[in-house]
């Protein structure tokens, strides 16, 4: 596949007290398989190799996430590198619904966590009408995004990122993220098509808890128990007893 990059480079000129050529702002676009990506790094926070990995990871994940879940998902996406943003990465709503904002500080510290792009790209595919309410529970939105990170990720292993094989104490299906993602992977294995059906219902505002039963024949609490029971973390071994004195 051909990669077209149209970079506009701005090199800061020698202002007093500032050494030359330190800022390489980047504002360019790439098109691949019908999807155009606009990439903006106004402060030049990330160097070219990391930029390339972000772009490659985006396409690797998004094209397949989109094809599998919503072929009509946006064909124009923006990635903004924003040093003023203190989180990790996010996709916003309304005019930010197809924009991934990334904290360069996080990626510079955790360059192997490249598949955060895969998680965020899935949020664009999801494109749900709201977030964190009855119709669109936040735990399920994040669970599906981490399910997708596992399924479509470029190199989760490098980051030491994986869906957990065990269920920790106090975790529930509503713990979200990896906990819910691992449950969804199991549930999808048992009931193929489940995640697709959940995603569609969430997008159409039709999600209700009864949907789990409709799709699998079991209620959500029953499914969770079936999943969690054999995976519960064993309690830590009791401290070795001292011999009697
Ligand atoms: Zn997320």
pLDDT of 179 strictly over 50: yes
pLDDT at residue 145 greater than cutoff 60: yes
Q: Determine the distance separating the centroid of ligand 1 and the alpha carbon of 123, expressed in angstroms.
A: 7
Q: CB of 151 within 8 A of CB of 54?
A: no
Checking if the pLDDT of 5 tops 70, the result is no
CATH no., domain 1-127: 1.10.390.10
Query: Where do the domains of the chain lie?
Result: 1-127, 130-233
> 225 C-alpha to center of ligand 1: Å?
25
Going by C-alpha positions, the residue among 23, 10, 28, 142 that lies closest to residue 78 is: 28
Instruction: Measure the CA–CA gap between 210 and 208, rounded to whole angstroms.
Output: 5
Measure the CA–CA gap between 157 and 217, rounded to whole angstroms. 34
Q: In this predicted structure, what is the pLDDT of residue 135? A: 97
Q: Model confidence over 208-220: pLDDT tens digits?
A: 999 999 999 999 9
**Ligand 1 centroid vs 2 CA: distance in angstroms?**
30
Residues at Cβ < 5 Å from ligand 1 ion? 142, 145
Q: Looking at residue 94, what is its pLDDT?
A: 86
Query: What's the 168 CA to ligand 1 centre distance in angstroms?
Result: 21
Instruction: State what percent of residues in the chain have pLDDT above 70.
Output: 86
**If you measure from the C-alpha of residue 172 to the centroid of ligand 1, how many angstroms do you get, rounded to a whole number?**
18
3-state secondary structure at position 128? coil
pLDDT at 50: 95
Q: Flag whether pLDDT at 235 surpasses 70.
A: no
d(CA 73, CA 75): 6
More confident residue, 21 or 174: 174
Please compute the mean of the pLDDT values over residues 189-206 and round it to a whole number: 98
Which tens digit of pLDDT belongs to each residue from 94-122?
Answer: 889 999 999 999 999 999 999 999 999 99
Q: How many angstroms does the Cα of residue 101 sit away from the middle of ligand 1?
A: 12
Q: For 45-88, what is each residue's pLDDT tens digit?
A: 999 999 999 999 999 999 999 999 999 999 999 999 999 999 99
Q: Would you call 17 helix, strand, or coil by DSSP?
A: coil
- Other C-beta atoms closer than 10 Å to the C-beta of 110 total 13
């Amino acid at each position: 596949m051909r990669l077209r990059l149209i970079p506009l480079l701005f090199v800061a000129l020698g202002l007093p007290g500032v050494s030359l050529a330190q800022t390489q702002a980047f504002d360019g676009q790439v098109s691949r398989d019908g999807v155009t990506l606009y990439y903006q790094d106004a402060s030049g926070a990330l160097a070219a190799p990391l930029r390339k990995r972000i772009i490659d990871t985006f396409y690797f994940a998004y094209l397949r996430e989109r094809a599998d879940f919503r072929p009509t998902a946006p064909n124009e996406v923006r990635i903004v590198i924003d040093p003023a943003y203190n989180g990790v990465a996010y996709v916003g709503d309304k005019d930010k619904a197809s924009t991934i904002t990334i904290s360069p500080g996080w990626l510079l510290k955790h360059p192997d966590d490249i598949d955060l792009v895969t998680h965020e790209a899935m949020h664009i595919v999801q494109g749900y009408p709201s977030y964190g309410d009855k119709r669109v529970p936040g735990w399920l939105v994040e669970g599906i995004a981490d399910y997708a990170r596992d399924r479509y990720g470029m190199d989760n292993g490098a980051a030491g990122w994986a869906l957990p094989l065990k269920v920790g104490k106090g975790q529930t299906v509503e713990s979200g993220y990896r906990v819910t993602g691992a449950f969804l992977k199991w549930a999808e294995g048992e009931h193929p098509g489940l995640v697709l059906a959940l995603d569609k219902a969430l997008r159409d505002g039709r999600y209700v808890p009864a949907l789990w039963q409709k799709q699998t024949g079991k209620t959500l609490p029953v499914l969770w128990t079936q999943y969690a029971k054999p995976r519960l973390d064993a309690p830590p071994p009791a401290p070795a007893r001292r011999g009697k004195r």
